[in-house]
Each structure stands twice: as structure tokens, then as C-alpha cells.
Chain A
């Protein structure tokens, strides 16, 4: 069983479109995250949710909107996609969300904006 799963694995779309990436974890964790990994492999946190509540909201354009329908799911919706949004997006989860927790990562979604 996959612990943290993401769909789709690949996403190719045109500038200006709106797209969503879904994430689910079956670990029973309380906290979920979205990270962006750029072409140089630099990994930066975007959002964190604990029990469906937003905890971390980095300086991300408001075109990015996370949604957590329940604590096992954290989706990422992106409006008006831009070329610079091309990256690999990783979902992760941790048991309680403190800084000492191990984070478990999904396989990533490679977004390409043309």
C-alpha cells in the first residue's frame, strides 16, 4: 500500500489554464504539506495543514490554493498557470507536524506549463 499518493504523476498544460493535484495519505497522520521542487532540485515548502487547518502559508502567489477536505487529503489547485509554475510538486505528511517529525513524501507530480 502506498503511504502518500499523488495524482497525476505528470501534468502538461498550457499557460492560463487551471489545474489541480490531489494527495492522499493512509498513514493516519495529522499534518500534510505541499512542497515545490524547482529545476535545480531546490525544495521549498508552500503550505502545511494540520487536521484540515492551515498552519504554514509561505509567500506563494494566491493563484495557488490548497484544500483539505479531511485530514487524509490535501489538494492543490492552481489558477492561471504560468511558465514559472513548471516544477515537481511533492505532497508529504507527518504524524503531528512538529519540527522533529519525520515527513513522508509522495512520488511527486511533474507539472509542465507550455
Chain B
């Protein structure tokens, strides 16, 4: 079965430090890949996605992610964390032969002042 794995259910970084949230997928066929962010008591909002083309994808709020087929990864990065980045982040993948998205279990990002 297809799956999406997010390493680290909780990540803490200092304000101004690099943010790295990890996501790996299991599929022999490169899927479509997404990062969504969920702020407290809100719905999910798309940060960025990879479908085809350039493997380095830039999203909103200074985030970017790189699709690496050889590593089956789609890690999310931001050079300098801001307090407003504190949220839950979900990696998701689709295109596994059906039209649904498979979500990872989420990573809670905490920013230390």
C-alpha cells in the first residue's frame, strides 16, 4: 500500500534558524506531492505542491521543497524560521492509481523565541 511518512512528530527550532521537515513516500511511480499547513483551530492550507517539471518548488511564506526521486523524498525547508510558522505541517501524496490523497501523520513545528 502507498504511504507517506513524516519523520518527527514534533520539531522545535529557534527563531531565525533553518526549518527542515522531512517527508518520504513509498511508491514505484512518482506521485504528486503536497505540503499543507494547519494553524490552530483552522483548516488545512496549501503551502506548495509538486506535479511535474522543476523539482525544487517554492511556496508561500518563504517555504520550499525539493522532490528527490532517488530518495523518494519531498522535504520542506525554510531558511529562517518566524514565530508565525508555528503550526502543524502535513505532507500528502496522490496519484497512486486513484484520485485520493494520502496524508502523513503531521509534524508539529514549534518556534523558540
**A residues apposed to B, CB below 8 Å:** 4, 40-45, 48, 55-56, 58, 90, 92, 97-100, 102-108
Contact = CB atoms under 8 A, between A and B. Distances in A.
Interface of B: 31-32, 34, 36, 38, 41-46, 49, 51, 88, 90, 94-96, 98-101, 103, 105-106, 108
Contacts, number: 62
Interface of A, secondary structure class, is loop
Contact of B44 (A42, A55, A90): A90
B46 A102 contact: yes
A48 B99 contact: yes
A102 B49 contact: yes
Q: Which of A56, A98, A99 has the most CB of B within 10 A?
A: A99
A100 B108 CA distance: 25
6 contacts: A92-B44, A100-B95, A104-B46, A107-B43, A108-B41, A108-B42
B94 A99 contact: yes
Contacts of A44: 103
Given A90-B43, A100-B32, A41 B105 contact: yes
A25 to B, nearest CB: 12
Given A40-B105, A100-B95, 8 more contacts: A41-B106, A43-B106, A45-B101, A99-B101, A102-B46, A103-B101, A105-B36, A108-B41
